[in-house]
Structures are given as C-alpha cells and as structure tokens.
Amino acid sequence: MEPVGKTLSGARSALFLLLAINLFNYIDRQILAALEPDIRATFFAPDDVNRMTKTGLLAVAFFVTYMLSAPVLGLLADRISRWVIVGIAVILWSLASGASGLAATFGILFATRIFVGIGEGGYGPAAPTIISDLFPIQIRGRVMAIFCAAIPVGSALGYVIGGLVGAHLGWRWAFYLVTPPGLLLGLLCFWQRDPRVAVVQKTPRRSIRDYRNLFHTRSYLINCIAMTLTTFVTGGLGFWVPAYLRYRNQSPEMGMTIFGLITVVAGLVSTLLGGVIADRLRSRFAGSYFWVSGIGMLIACPFFIATLYIPFPVTWITMFFAIFFLFLNTGPSNTALANVSLPAVRATAFAANILVIHALGDVQAFWLLGYIGGHTNMHVAFLFVSGIIFLSGLAWLVGVKYLPADTAAVESQTSA
C-alpha cells in the first residue's frame, strides 16, 4: 500500500500530531542532560568521585533500552495498528518521565529511564512509517523533513525548559510539567485511523522473503552505515561540546547558550531545506536523497575543521555552517529508508536502523571521544570527528549507484 501520487485523507492532521509528539520526544530526552547537575547533587555526596559516572548511567539506560526495544516493537508495528503502538508508547514514556520526578532513590530514577527508552523504542519505528504510508513518494522528503525538524527544536527546548524550571522550581518539576502534554498527545493517537486499514485487501502479506530482501537491499545497508557515522558525529558533539569549549577557554554557560541557538536555527532551516531540495531534484536525479545527504556532509567537513583552528568569536560562524550542513541529510536519509522498504516491513526497517545507528554510533562516540580526549586533548578528538564526517559523506555518494533501482523495485511491487 503506497499513496501513489496523492496524499491520503487525514494525512496533514496526522503529521501535525506526530510532529508535536516528536517535539516532546526530544524535549524529554534532553531535559535529563540539563538537570544532571541537580540530580547528581540530590543523590550523591560531593566527595563521591564516581558520582558523574553514576548519573551518566541514566543516559546509558535510556539508549540501551531504546536500541533493544525498537526492533521488537517495530516487528509488532508491522502487524497491528501503528497508531495503537504510538499511543501506548507516548503514554508510557510520559508516565515514566513524571515518575522520574517522583523518584525517591537513584535506583528508582534509573528504572524510570528504562521505561522512557521502551516508550521511545515503540514510537521510533512506527511514527515515520505512518508518515510514509500517508504521503506519496513525490513529496515524502519534505514531509519527513518537517517531522524531523522537531529534533533540533525539541533538543534545544529540553535544555531551556530543564534549565529554567530546574532553577526556579527544582529539577523534579521539570519532569512533572512535560507529563500532561505527553499523555494528551498519546490519547489522541487512539482516534487516528491506520492508513493500511482502507486498503488491507490490496496489501500483500509479509513473508520471510520480504525481511530477507530488506537486509539484502544495498542502498538500505549503505544508508544505515552513513547514518551510523552521522549519529556518531552528532551524538559525540552533543555530549562533548561543553568539554571542548572549556578546552578553548570559553565560558561553558555562555558557550552552550550560543551553541544551542546555533543548533536550533541552523538545524531547523537545514532539516527543512534538505527535504525540499531532495524532493525537487528527484525528477532529474533519481538518487537525489543520497546526493543531498552526501554532498552536505562533504561540505560540512572543511567548515568543521576550520572551527577547530579559527579563534573565537569567529569560530561561531564556521560552526554555524558546519552544523547547517550536518543536518541537511536528516530528511533525505530517513525518506530513503522508507522508499527502499516495502510497506509491510517498513516499521522493521526503521527499527533495525535505530538499533544499528545508536549501538554503533552515538553510544560508541560517548566513550571513544572521551578516551581520545583524555589521552591527548579535545582538539585531537574533534579532528577524529571530522574524519567521520568525511566518511559518512563518501558512504552516501557510494550508495547513489543503488538507490534508484532499489526505490523503483519497491514502487513497482506496491503499485502492482
């Protein structure tokens, strides 16, 4: 079932709902980082030399659970209503976020982050799949870009809300306040109609062969590799930029404020623009989604290297352009995932991608860049990041050769 050439009824309202949910998705993720110093002070003594390592386990609990639950719940989302999966997932992580504020011990707080990870593991594969079911391939890139625009905005809002609420009401209230909107958004999902229902008679049954073909699709595998490298970059930067700013003798408070503003503006504009450009180029270049993604990363690389050598405050200018081109692939790369996977197994395609890009991407970046920075300095660690940026761009350009044929194969099967 593909909405070939037309947008299905209710698609725009569904997109708005999923966009709002995705916004709170990233707000919930980043609030924890903003509140970490307060949480550390609540549960651990100042002389506990391992207190930062222990609070860091909260992020590990989320990501590991998120990675492992996504494939399981992705398979489920290919079998039952994806809106039901999304609704339950959003309600689960919203309740878990509220419970984070109620946590009387660090162990309880750790458990709540596990449930946040499970909730997002259900939402992550299902939401972009619903969008792919609702919108035709001709405009799917720009629609996916709108959905992904919540990433930079939600991440920045998480820092802002966490910082402001934590400073004035205490860290627990930051978790309380994000719970009601999440519950409301989750409940609204149960009134949405699964786009597959109307055409269930036309939808071919999934088979083991469909899954086997997915994991033998070269453009899908190459896209996963490139997105893993990109996730390593963005995850590593998000975690280690404060340490890098200290290395460059910049105020962490002022520096993170500027970095957050740059991320919102550059990330938002770039994410939206990337999807629009890739869609418009598709009629002339069948591999446009990989062309835009790959060229964006290759342009980002020299800007990022320049950032490491140019003195402040000029550094902020080159950093802006580096982040701008780093986010250009967000819409096109996710659209390519949808375009080369059959609707019957599309949630599984996104779920497997989530597992791979986080297990081999940002989770590895957290410790590896810390190791490099600890044994040398943060300049060397970030030079290593520039190499990963370059490799991700090359990977997408290699995949250009295979994307048109793989996309056409899916289109021919779904329109038959």
**Positive or negative torsion for Cα 37, 39, 42, 47:** negative
What DSSP state is assigned to residue 325? H
**pLDDT for position 197:** 57
Return the top range by mean pLDDT from 64-78, 205-219, 316-330.
Answer: 316-330
Least confidently predicted of 35-39, 141-145, 375-379: 35-39
Average pLDDT over residues 368-392: 92
**pLDDT for position 292:** 96
Read off the tokens for 42: 């609540």
pLDDT band of residue 415 (cuts 50, 70, 90) is low
Quick one: CATH architecture of 1-194?
A: Up-down Bundle (1.20)
Q: The pTM is what?
A: 0.81
The answer on pLDDT for 237 being more than 80 is yes
Q: Quick one: which of 84, 137, 155, 104 has its CA closest to 288? A: 137
Q: Where are the domains of the chain?
A: 1-194, 207-416
**pLDDT for position 405:** 94
Q: What percent of the chain has pLDDT over 70?
A: 93
Residue with tokens 């504020």: 101
Average pLDDT over residues 30-42: 81
Average pLDDT over residues 151-167: 82
Residue with tokens 């990363």: 297
The answer on pLDDT for 347 being more than 50 is yes
**Do 1-194 and 207-416 come out as alike in CATH topology?**
yes
Cα separation of 37 and 174, whole Å?
14
The answer on pLDDT for 5 being more than 70 is no
CB 230 within 8 A of CB 297: yes
The answer on pLDDT for 321 being more than 90 is yes
Which residues does 3 contact at the CB level (< 8 Å), separation at least 6?
Answer: 11, 133, 134, 135, 136, 195
**pLDDT for position 207:** 67
Which residues does 278 contact at the CB level (< 8 Å), separation at least 6?
Answer: 141, 288, 289, 291, 292, 293, 331, 332, 335
Which residues does 332 contact at the CB level (< 8 Å), separation at least 6?
Answer: 141, 145, 274, 275, 278, 288, 289, 290, 292, 293
What is the tens place of the pLDDT at every residue in 160-170?
Answer: 788 788 888 88
**pLDDT for position 100:** 92
What DSSP state is assigned to residue 250? -
Cα separation of 332 and 293, whole Å?
7
Return the top range by mean pLDDT from 112-121, 262-271, 393-402.
Answer: 393-402
**pLDDT for position 198:** 47
More confident residue, 384 or 255: 384
Quote the CATH superfamily of domain 207-416. MFS general substrate transporter like domains (1.20.1250.20)
Cα separation of 26 and 161, whole Å?
12
The string of DSSP letters for 215-232 reads TT-HHHHHHHHHHHHHHH
Average per-residue pLDDT for the chain: 87
